[in-house]
Amino acid sequence: MIRVMIVEDDPMVAEFNKRYLEQVEGFTLVAMAASVDEAIKKIEKLEIDLILLDIFMPGKLGLELLTYLRENEKETDVIIISAASDMERIKKALRYGAVDYLIKPFEFDRLSRALVSYKEQTRVIQTQHVINQDVLDQQILHREDKPLIEDLPKGLTKDTLKQIWETIQELKDAPFSTEDVVRVVGISRVSVRKYLNFLKEMGILDVKVIYGTVGRPVYQHEFNKLKEHLIKSFL
């Protein structure tokens, strides 16, 4: 589990962030602080992997906590959640190593993406000793994050895509085949494959071909959660 501290002086906002965090698997809240000084005291006592940090607070600003972390070589990452939208503060936060920056007000989907991305990045860093450029770009540097397709291809409809997408949400925890989707949605195999190919082109699905001893090969689809947000504009 990724251990998180929320640093936010507004009790209502802190509670919302706590509730949002609870909805994302793989994270546990270990502390909350309403000021930089209080946060530093807890950092010295607790093991904290990630801080959700506000900038505007009484006393020291959140950026001073970032400075403290770097000067003391703390292995703690920071996601900024702040109303500060001026480029000077944003550049300073990124320069001091903030892994993401959310401008208030924000939608839960944006925070969810930030947390999921961080979780996947952490997994890669902890489990891989050597990686290739594609993994580095997609899972660490988050390059090529824009959809290459702007409109649904001819012959595809939003209603059917939504059905396919809802089915994938049920199957995504393990590799699944075209036939698995057909059984749930109830449309032809050819039609399902068109939609799965569309999602593959967007990078949301990875496809592997499994060759058995008898019969045609089976296409196994694996869900890429880091690209999940790209589907939003098509539904």
If asked whether residues 36 and 118 sit together in one domain, one would say yes
If asked whether residues 51 and 166 sit together in one domain, one would say no
In a domain, 34, yes or no: yes
In a domain, 139, yes or no: no
| Residue 150, token pair as written in the block | 């702007």
- The pLDDT value recorded for residue 36 is 96
Round to whole Å and give the CA distance between 153 and 178: 19
- Domain of 32, CATH number, reads 3.40.50.2300
The domain total for the chain is 2
> Is residue 146 scored above 60 in pLDDT?
no
Note the pLDDT tens digit of each residue in 38-57.
999 999 999 999 999 999 99
In a domain, 142, yes or no: no
Question: Which of 208, 209, 204, 207 minimizes the C-alpha distance to 224?
Answer: 204
Note the pLDDT tens digit of each residue in 179-192.
999 999 999 999 99
In a domain, 143, yes or no: no
**Domain span at residue 76?**
2-127
If asked whether residues 88 and 188 sit together in one domain, one would say no
Round to whole Å and give the CA distance between 43 and 46: 5
The mean pLDDT value of the chain amounts to: 87
